[in-house]
Amino acid sequence: QKEVEQNSGPLSVPEGAIASLNCTYSDRGSQSFFWYRQYSGKSPELIMFIYSNGDKEDGRFTAQLNKASQYVSLLIRDSQPSDSATYLCAVKKDAGNMLTFGGGTRLMVKP
Amino acid sequence: DVKVTQSSRYLVKRTGEKVFLECVQDMDHENMFWYRQDPGLGLRLIYFSYDVKMKEKGDIPEGYSVSREKKERFSLILESASTNQTSMYLCASSRVAGNRSPLHFGNGTRLTVT
């Protein structure tokens, strides 16, 4: 089992819909969770992070964390074609500084 | 804004050459990282450093070494490049701030070894 797992996709949603991206992790000691967006040929850029159970909202983005079930998700409301990218989930296990990345989910938003 | 700068965007080298990839960050971050990214394999950590002259192996250190002589600069060295080291190389930095500090990435270096 991979430490951080994501469905590779592609996930295809129509413009204006909600895109739901999921990530599961294996280590119960994981403490911080990050979502990065990566456009083709570009480097990852941080969207948001979450470390407490529940929801965290930032504009059109909502991160959801459920530590008991060991999953974290990212919701994108009112999806736009410009949201088409690969979304990487990353997990920090402890107070150290290493992030473990999932393989990423490719999102396609169709006009 | 944090800026992480990688010296080359594209690099083509021959098998057996010694290759240096340079990375500089301007935010006085303690931690610096080198990842490689390959289709289907995602981001894999090669080496990281949490202080000047300190280094730790990541998941795939074989065939690589690193140097951190100054806080702002972290170099990745391919001692003898091989074709299986053709990849996108990403440098990143972060602050030592418990478990909530995110990584900030450079623009990447696409290395081709022929």
Query: Mean pLDDT, consecutive 10-residue segments, chain B of 114 residues?
Result: 88 97 94 92 91 91 96 97 97 77 90 98
Apex A44 CA angle, B86 and A58, nearest 5? 170
Sorting pLDDT into bands at 50, 70 and 90, what band is A1?
low
Do the chains contact at B99 and A104, CB–CB below 8 Å?
no
Any B CB within 8 A of A92 CB: yes
Mutation choice for A interface testing from B54, B100, B104, B109 by most A CBs within 10 A? B100
Any B CB within 8 A of A45 CB: yes
On the question of pLDDT at A34 being above 60, the answer is yes
Sorting pLDDT into bands at 50, 70 and 90, what band is A20?
very high
What pLDDT shows up at residue A60?
97
The pair of three-digit structure tokens given for residue B105, joined into one six-digit string? 């990435």
Place of tokens 């909502």: A62
Give the count of alpha carbons within 13 A of B93, CB side only: 24
- For residue A87, the chain B residue with the least C-alpha distance is B42
Beta bridge partners of residue A105, listed in sequence order: A87
Q: Cα separation of B23 and B32, whole Å?
A: 9
What pLDDT shows up at residue B101?
76
What pLDDT shows up at residue B39?
85
Q: Cα separation of A63 and A75, whole Å?
A: 6
Sorting pLDDT into bands at 50, 70 and 90, what band is A101?
very high
* Helix or strand (DSSP H, E) at A48: strand A45-50
Q: Count CB neighbours of A87 within 10 A.
A: 24
For residues A53 and A46, the answer to whether their CB atoms sit within 8 Å is no
- Region A63-69 average pLDDT: 95
For residues A75 and A57, the answer to whether their CB atoms sit within 8 Å is no
For residues A107 and A19, the answer to whether their CB atoms sit within 8 Å is yes
Any A CB within 8 A of B102 CB: yes
Q: By mean pLDDT, which of A14-28, A33-47, A61-75, B93-107 is the weakest?
A: B93-107
Q: What is the mean pLDDT of chain A?
A: 92
B34 class by beta-carbon count within 10 Å (0-12 exposed, 13-18 middle, 19+ buried): buried
What pLDDT shows up at residue A95?
59
Beta bridge partners of residue B56, listed in sequence order: B48
What pLDDT shows up at residue B99?
58
For residues B95 and B30, the answer to whether their CB atoms sit within 8 Å is yes
